[in-house]
Amino acid sequence: MGKITGFLEFERQNESYIAPKKRIKNYKEFTIPLEERKLKEQGARCMDCGIPFCHSGCPLGNFIPDFNDKVYKGKWKEAAEILHKTNNFPEFTGRLCPAPCEEACVLGINEDPVTIENIEKNIVETAFKEGWITAQPPKVRTAKKVAVVGSGPAGLATAQQLNRAGHTVTVFERDEKIGGLLRYGIPDFKMEKYVIDRRLKVLEAEGITFKTNAHVGVNVDAHELKEEYDAIVLCGGATVRRHIPIPGAELKGVVQAMDFLKLNNQYVDGLVDFEAIISAKDKHVIVIGGGDTGSDCIGTSNRHGAKSLTNFEILDKPNVGRPAHQPWPYWPMKLRTSSSHQEGVERFFSISTKEFLGDGKGNLKGLKTVEVEWLFKKGERPQLKEIKGTEKEWECDLALLALGFTGSEITLAEQFGLEMDFRTNIQASTKDYATNVPGIFVAGDMRRGQSLIVWAISEGRQAAHYVDAYLMGESHLPLKDDSDLPRA
């Protein structure tokens, strides 16, 4: 905990932002850090709650009251050590996690919760600045070799944990750079890519080998991989995008959000010219989908210089506050306004796209929508009903489909002979993360479906424990619930 009376003395204060008109002129992060005195005050707000429900909200089981207390006391190095015991990459989660821990904070029952995520980010940034985060290669190597397929947060966490256990780990990534959706999905204004590169230098110094442009099952033979390695961990994510099966979906200008975002990441990285990307400049842009990916498209389109920007969500507009049927400490489905929304967009809820309209030459020029309502009957799935007389046409040059993902690609499952579940994710349970093929494991979104970065890191850590036990007969790598085990 922090200061006993801290929650009574100090109000919640988070980082501020550079003004929207200024920040949309570039792709850099735009938060303005709090001064150290203010950060200590925020750590002081962590109260003597008896049972820290923030633990239940965090998939990693971070020791949140412990590092809050160290920040309050100015013991930043000790705070960093505590944070890294359960989280391999707090510089990622401190920027990108939606902070379910804060929704579970006991103080949040009747006051603003502790700024856990921002404290976490400042701990790790201080640790990097002071040079406390250094490579820690294992003292002893085993004779075991492990291949990790996919270099997103699940793959990187798996690789680091297994490397710490002494195994020789190689990470295979099909793109030209390491990072998965962290690299080619998350816009730079949410996380600049030096943050990934900085951590990669540490992982490489610890002895992990990274192979890029290595697409297992395509230009890397899956059967040879199985012969060469003692274990394989699949962390390829849930990358099959959801489509919208309506007339006109084939028109030029109807674009998957991840295609739009990836090209922009490559442009910011200097890999392609602006002319090569899917540009929103001077276009009437409509983003279909109200989640994080849709928000990322909005922020990117504003930076391109879109003529107009509209956002559709098929679900009802959520409550501003916590809904009655989602009480503390559960994650509430409430209205959330992101920094990208604040930069300029018109948002519409309970609206369904019916048809994309073309100009007769194969180009998108508009779309048709209808307002909808959701009907709920006890014991039945919600039914969607169109409201007659609410049809409308919208001018649109670029429609970005941010509709989520339906599961993992089938390439690896077919190559290795793996069973998939009804959602087309590779089948394995949290009992051991093992697939139906001995020696092959799966973690992250490829197993659980589209989820949060914090869950990906958690699954990577858990899977590494079971892979290590499979290879060696037992494992001393930590599991989330085994807080008495030595922490890596």
Is 33 part of any domain?
A: yes
Same domain, 280 and 392: yes
Is 157:169 a contact under the CB 8 Å cutoff?
no
Same domain, 38 and 167: no
Same domain, 373 and 445: no
Same domain, 383 and 418: no
* β-sheet bridge partners, residue 254: 399
Tens digits of per-residue pLDDT, 469-483? Answer: 999 999 999 987 544
Tens digits of per-residue pLDDT, 218-258? Answer: 999 999 999 999 999 999 999 999 999 999 999 999 999 99
CATH number, position 263: 3.50.50.60
Same domain, 362 and 434: no
Same domain, 116 and 17: yes
Same domain, 329 and 215: no
Is 275 part of any domain?
A: yes
pLDDT value of position 470 = 98
Is 485 part of any domain?
A: no
How many C-beta neighbours within 10 Å does residue 245 have? 6
Query: What is the residue range of 93's domain?
Result: 6-130
Same domain, 368 and 398: yes
Same domain, 183 and 122: no
Q: Which residue has the tokens 């139906």?
A: 436
User: 356, 387, 403 — which closes off a domain?
Assistant: 403
The continuous run of DSSP H or E covering 355 comes out as: strand 351-358
DSSP notation for 214-257: --BTTTB-HHHHHHH-SEEEE-----EEPP--STTTTSBTEEEH
User: 362, 379, 403 — which closes off a domain?
Assistant: 403
Is 135:206 a contact under the CB 8 Å cutoff?
yes
Same domain, 200 and 274: no
Q: What is the rounded average pLDDT for all residues in the chain? A: 95
User: 372, 403, 434 — which closes off a domain?
Assistant: 403
**Residue 262: pLDDT over 70:** yes
User: How many separate domains does the chain show?
Assistant: 3
HSE, side-chain direction, 13 A CA sphere, residue 42 = 26
Residue 330 in tokens: 């559960």
Is 340 part of any domain?
A: yes
Is 261 part of any domain?
A: yes
Tens digits of per-residue pLDDT, 328-379? Answer: 999 999 999 999 999 999 999 999 999 999 999 999 999 999 999 999 888 8
Same domain, 274 and 374: yes
pLDDT value of position 319 = 92
CATH number, position 77: 1.10.1060.10
Is 481 part of any domain?
A: no
Can you give the length of the chain in residues? 488
CA-based nearest residue to 175, from 147, 211, 227, 199: 211
H/E/C letters for each residue in 143-165?
CCEEEEECCCHHHHHHHHHHHHC
Rounded Cα–Cα distance for residues 370 and 372 (Å): 6
- As a whole number of Å, the end-to-end CA separation of the chain is 23
**Residue 103: pLDDT over 60:** yes
Tell me the mean pLDDT in the region 28-46: 97
Is 1 part of any domain?
A: no
Is 135 part of any domain?
A: no
Same domain, 53 and 126: yes
User: Could you give the percent of the chain with pLDDT greater than 90?
Assistant: 94
